[in-house]
Structure 1
Amino acid sequence: MNKLLNPKNDVVFQKIFGVKENEKLLISFLNSILEPMGNGKIKSITLEEKALNVSLIASEKLSILDINVTTENSTHINVEIQLINQYNMIKRTIFYLSKMILKQLVKGDNYNQLNKTITINILDFDYINDEKFHSSYHLYEDMTKKLLSDIIEIHFIELKKFEKSKKDYNNKLHRWLSFLINPEGKEIDIIKKEDTEIKEAMDVLYNISGDKELIQLAEMRDKAIRDEKSRLQGARDEGIKQGAKDALAKSTIKLLRKKFKDIPDNIIESILNLSLEKIEEINEDLFDIESIEELKKYI
């Protein structure tokens, strides 16, 4: 038996939910998210299929495989799975939601032709400052919480929070998220005996896990994600180091000013531009430095 591909990999996710022959699975998944939040049941969709672009899959661009559909009542829905926290998810979401709305009109169209637009973000990291794993947002009046319009709707589903939460396998969304997180889990063996759509999704996953070309694309995507995670971690580490350097430089300059009163601006600027190690050296020798001339030897 082939090793199962990871449904959270966006190449694999797109192959399960983003192709016409699996529309039934996507409709089921969408309904499990939207129906409990007061949306009507989706019966049919028009799916915007995307071809897998090898060069983009191998890149660190993280939003290339989102899924776009229009429902039978002209609601526009975007679904995107994100594995990396780039700390810009809310602004990104609003930006892409705005683009979805703009695409609905051409010059001269009436604003009344705008249809409800929903974006669903599935995140493999904690992001929203709330214990709930599923958060939804609308346009409300600040004080009364009265709904201004249902024209936009934003959902965040945080998989890490779901993993820690109490599961209710009678809940369809819980079943779908369990499939995404661990399709080989014992609970999935039980669920798929009773849930034909989860069973069908498992059959699709088994099938595509034997596709050599898709395996290669999924591996390329995994590598791109790992590289991007490494880049972001490096940037964070560098930011932490820079912050520590700046703080130490300022405290060292403060002590030097107490000792020497007037320090030329060019000396101050030079200290601020030194490496962390050099600033630490000045700090350690601070009480042995007897003059500005001696201080210059460290710069």
Structure 2
Amino acid sequence: MTENTSRYIDPLTDFGFKLLFGNEPDKDILIEFLNTLFQGEKHIVDITYSATEYSGSYTKEKKVLFDLTCTGQDGEQFIIEMQRTGQKFFRDRCVFYMSRLISAQLPKGKDWNTPLKEVYLIGIMEFQFNNVDSNYLHNIALMNTDTGKVFYKGMGYKFLELPSFDKLEHELESDLDKWFYLLKNLSRLNKIPSFLDKRVFQKIFKIAEVSKLTKEQRELYESDIKAKSDWKGGMDWAKEQAAEQAAEQTQLNIASAMKKEGLTNELIAKLTKLSIEEIELITLG
């Protein structure tokens, strides 16, 4: 089933993500999602959505724009970010976002005599971290590297690495697995699977039906789908180009080695499929 003929929206588009997780009347969806992520570590009863644009405490500070932010009943703050592709400074940006929320808790000019509210960043990623284990959920905290014990419990990161989640329907063991499966596969489904029988999942399917979108919502969603399709096409083309260039470079390296061994240009061309002109341009070092 293609994106354009899907019965349900893609929750990994900007529109789909905010429709499901960013609406006040349906905030129980985000509450359930967060409680599942924290797996008993926290129990969130209620949330209040916050502004997604933050200017900072000082006029010269750079504005930041979050995908989604909310505050729990105890004052704890959550940033929920979607990231489609890996970026060189993605981790730096996540730390910067957290630092903004932390620094904002102390009013300008006030003494430092108050405990900080907890802050958490949840990153939903359509790419895999480099040089990190293959887990699909990464729980990051400030930790004593000598003892392995958590140094400070008031802040943390949870990264959902969607490409690393490859469980099939019969392999789903927990509600967390079901959330991962739903995020990855919602737009590919044409009916509600029997194993997604919790009330929150039933509600998501009801909201996510493309046929129930208003005309304006449909236009916004289709614009998002086109942007995602264009991005994917560009990424696929870049990968193909990189693979072709790597293959060509391999052939050039082989041709160079053959040339050093004294093989004729004609024989090298026959063996490597390179042109005589390309082989003549190879200089022996």
TM-score by length of structure 1 reads 0.68
Matched, 1:73 2:57: no
Q: What's the CA shift for 1:234?
A: 7.0
Residues 76 and 118 in structure 1, CA contact (< 8 A), matched pair in contact too: yes
Residues 3 and 209 in structure 1, CA contact (< 8 A), matched pair in contact too: no
Matched, 1:33 2:37: yes
Q: What's the CA shift for 1:213?
A: 1.7
Letter in 2 for 1:182: N
Q: What is the percent sequence identity of the aligned residues?
A: 23
Alpha-carbon displacement from aligned partner over 1:247-294 (angstroms, at most 9, x marks no partner): x9xxx9xxxxxxxxxxxxxxxxxxxxxxxxx997542xx47xxxxxxx
Q: 1:139 to 1:218 in 2, by over 3 A?
A: same
Matched, 1:100 2:101: yes
Describe the SS at the equivalent of 1:163.
Answer: coil
2-structure distance, mates of 1:145, 1:134: 19
Select which of 13, 26, 30 maps to 1:22. Answer: 26
Q: Which has the larger radius of gyration?
A: 1
Residues 69 and 78 in structure 2, CA contact (< 8 A), matched pair in contact too: yes
2-structure distance, mates of 1:122, 1:146: 26
Letter in 1 for 2:74: N
Partner of 2:9: 5
Residues 136 and 162 in structure 2, CA contact (< 8 A), matched pair in contact too: yes
2-structure distance, mates of 1:205, 1:93: 29
Matched, 1:199 2:210: no
Partner of 2:139: 136
Describe the SS at the equivalent of 2:195.
Answer: helix
Q: 1:107 to 1:84 in 2, by over 3 A?
A: same
Matched, 1:153 2:191: no
Residues 7 and 211 in structure 2, CA contact (< 8 A), matched pair in contact too: no
Partner of 2:222: 219
Count of equivalent residues = 246
Letter in 1 for 2:43: K
Which structure's residues are more often helix, by fraction? 1
TM-score by length of structure 2 reads 0.71
Partner of 2:50: 48
Letter in 2 for 1:42: I
Partner of 2:116: 114
Partner of 2:260: none
Select which of 181, 185, 204 maps to 1:182. Answer: 185
Residues 179 and 188 in structure 1, CA contact (< 8 A), matched pair in contact too: no
Unaligned ranges ≥5, structure 1: 52-62, 253-277, 288-299
Describe the SS at the equivalent of 2:193.
Answer: helix
Q: 1:13 to 1:189 in 2, by over 3 A?
A: same
1-structure distance, mates of 2:190, 2:219: 27
Q: 1:199 to 1:170 in 2, by over 3 A?
A: farther
Q: What's the CA shift for 1:95?
A: 1.8
Letter in 2 for 1:124: E
